[in-house]
Amino acid sequence: MKRTPNGYMVGITTYICQDSAPSAAPVATCLVNPGDYAIGGGAMANVYAAAPTKSLPLLGLGGGWTATSAGILGTVTHSLKTYAIGLQVLDSSFRPVNLGNEIREYDFPINTSDPNRLTGTFRVPAETLLIGGGWYSTGGVFAVDAYATGMYAGTWHVNGKQFRAGAPHFTGVAIGISRCLPAANPLFCFDHRDIIEATSDDGTIAEGAIATNTHAAQFLVGVGAVSSSWDRPLGTLAPRSLSEGLAVTVAPTGASGHVTAQIMTMGF
């Protein structure tokens, strides 16, 4: 927990849950502890031949992160790991602050006539900060990019492509939090100095990583990845603990290319 200048306590915890049982279509969910509000997370398929088809939040008190995955080009038995990020705020008397109305999910369906270029962007409302996002898909569609383009009054951008036959469906999911917590009777508000986005270009290797080398008051809240290739779905888009840093992996299913890992942090 970190103490804010006005005496309130804020804690953000990264949860790393066990792998799912091996399956051709595994399902995995990672829950935060009671008393925490789920604000983010991620997923990782344990083989390069598979990738998440759903990676999205279970926002709210005691929520978490849920995901599904499948073989990219055909049936593949594999496991799926999920991660979750939980937020807790205590007032000066160490009582939990109700944040139930401050964390929001925005789903935005992506419609296009070209299943090889499923692309969409959502801008959160002006009173909200973007802190991450995810996606869900059917019909053989996999995400190739998922990243923020500005946390402060920012947007969440996703790209997808159809790799297997089916009726393609692809929906992006943006996560926002009120600029002031709680909005009705603020204890504190964020400004542009409280949020940091950092990126790291890995070059031409299949895995990119960026360390959380921000100052001690910063917390990891979201992750993103930008690939230069439409032929390499995101096999991993997941946070790690502050001591481990952040890892993002793209499955090497096609042409070589670059991947840029993105980390989003907030200070209190």
Exposure of 9 by Cβ count < 10 A (0-12 exposed, 13-18 middle, 19+ buried)? middle
Q: Which amino acid is at 16?
A: I
- Averaged pLDDT for residues 138-165: 89
pLDDT at residue 102 greater than cutoff 90: yes
The mean-pLDDT minimum among 15-19, 116-120, 204-208 falls in 204-208
CATH number, span 2-92+103-267: 2.60.120.690
- Give the predicted TM-score (pTM) of the model: 0.88
Confidence band, pLDDT 50/70/90 cuts, at residue 141: very high
- Cα atoms found within 13 Å of the Cα of residue 37, Cβ hemisphere only: 23
- Averaged pLDDT for residues 209-229: 64
Give the tens place of pLDDT for each residue, 31-75: 999 999 999 999 999 888 899 999 999 998 999 999 999 999 999
pLDDT at 215: 41
Confidence band, pLDDT 50/70/90 cuts, at residue 231: confident
- Averaged pLDDT for residues 93-107: 91
pLDDT at 195: 62
Domains in the chain: boundaries = 2-92+103-267
- Cα atoms found within 13 Å of the Cα of residue 29, Cβ hemisphere only: 10
CB 179 within 8 A of CB 129: yes
